[in-house]
């Protein structure tokens, strides 16, 4: 039996609706793999990407910008509803007994009301935990621009940007489908099964994302003709 991973790309249209962009199977994830996926999406008609919300894969942002050079990248930072990528990576360095306290300290960073306050909170995290776990502040500072892009926007819009919860929820639904089936004979069998499941899931995507109208007003200001020509 060979274990493989199925990767999912989920897009948000100008109407605020979710749209599955594709499924891919592979043995290992990497920046090169995602560069190939993004090139495929562009060849299939994805004209532009304004904002990409991604997990913590090293080099993922560079892979996106190699294909869509004007894209802004927001790394998932929040531990909200399961979107825990940056926090989860940090906790790898932490003893079990300290994990709850460290996670609470990191929450003060991404839940800060402003970027300067987030910077002060990260300084506080480093003062409290930096001696014991120096890799944590170093990790956050090295990816600071991508972790804090969402601070450009007011609080009611940030929830659209700072977590990959929509993808995490979709992945959870797909895992439940696969879990009940056991080993499958081929990649095609896996993709067909997931396609049928996704068809059922997508039928429930009938509403735009929360606060989408407010987000669009701001996106039109920030992205101008790159957005309005698709309206």
Per-residue pLDDT for 132 more than 90? yes
Q: What does the mean pLDDT of the chain come to?
A: 86
Triad 124, 128, 134: Cα angle to 5°: 100
171-189 pLDDT, tens per residue? 888 888 888 887 888 888 9
Alpha carbons within 13 A on the beta-carbon side of 66: 15
The per-residue pLDDT for 136 is 93
Which stretch of DSSP H or E encloses residue 19?
A: strand 18-26
User: Alpha helix (H) ranges present in 85-186?
Assistant: 85-91, 99-110, 115-129, 135-142, 144-147, 155-158, 165-179
Per-residue pLDDT for 56 more than 70? no
- CA atoms 152, 121, 142, 103: torsion sign: negative
Triad 90, 96, 100: Cα angle to 5°: 65
Total-model pTM: 0.81
pLDDT-derived band at 143 (thresholds 50, 70, 90) equals confident
The per-residue pLDDT for 158 is 82
Residues contacting residue 209 through CB under 8 Å, at least 6 positions apart: 12, 16, 18, 160, 166, 215
Q: How far apart are CA 140 and CA 32, in angstroms?
A: 23
Q: What is the mean pLDDT of residues 74-84?
A: 55
- Find out whether 197 and 178 touch, Cβ atoms under 8 Å: no
91-122 pLDDT, tens per residue? 888 999 999 999 999 989 988 999 999 999 99
Per-residue pLDDT for 81 more than 60? no
The per-residue pLDDT for 79 is 42
Per-residue pLDDT for 26 more than 50? yes
Q: Which residue has the higher pLDDT, 163 or 192?
A: 192
Q: Where are the domains of the chain?
A: 1-77+152-231, 82-147
93: phi then psi, degrees, rounded to nearest 5? -90, 0
CATH for the stretch 1-77+152-231: 3.30.420
């Amino acid at each position: 039996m060979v274990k493989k991973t199925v990767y999912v790309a989920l897009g948000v249209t100008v109407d605020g609706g979710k749209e599955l962009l594709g499924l891919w199977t592979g043995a290992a994830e990497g920046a090169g793999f995602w560069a190939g996926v993004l090139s495929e999406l562009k060849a299939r008609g994805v004209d532009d990407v304004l904002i990409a919300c991604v997990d913590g894969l090293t080099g993922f942002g560079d892979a996106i910008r190699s294909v869509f050079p004007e894209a802004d990248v927001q790394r998932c930072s929040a531990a909200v509803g399961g979107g825990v990528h940056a926090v989860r990576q940090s906790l790898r360095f932490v003893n079990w007994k300290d994990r709850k306290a460290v996670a609470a300290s990191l929450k003060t960073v991404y839940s800060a009301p402003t970027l300067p306050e987030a910077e002060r909170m990260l300084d506080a995290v480093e003062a409290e935990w930096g001696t014991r776990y120096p890799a944590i502040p170093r990790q956050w500072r090295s990816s600071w621009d991508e972790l804090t892009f969402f601070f450009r926007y007011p609080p009611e819009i940030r929830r659209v940007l700072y977590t990959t919860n929509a993808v995490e929820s979709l992945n959870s639904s797909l895992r439940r489908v696969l879990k009940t089936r056991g080993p499958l004979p081929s990649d095609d069998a896996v993709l067909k099964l997931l396609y049928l499941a996704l068809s059922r899931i997508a039928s429930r995507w009938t509403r735009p994302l929360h606060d989408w109208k407010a987000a669009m007003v701001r996106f039109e200001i920030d992205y101008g003709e790159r957005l309005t020509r698709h309206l």
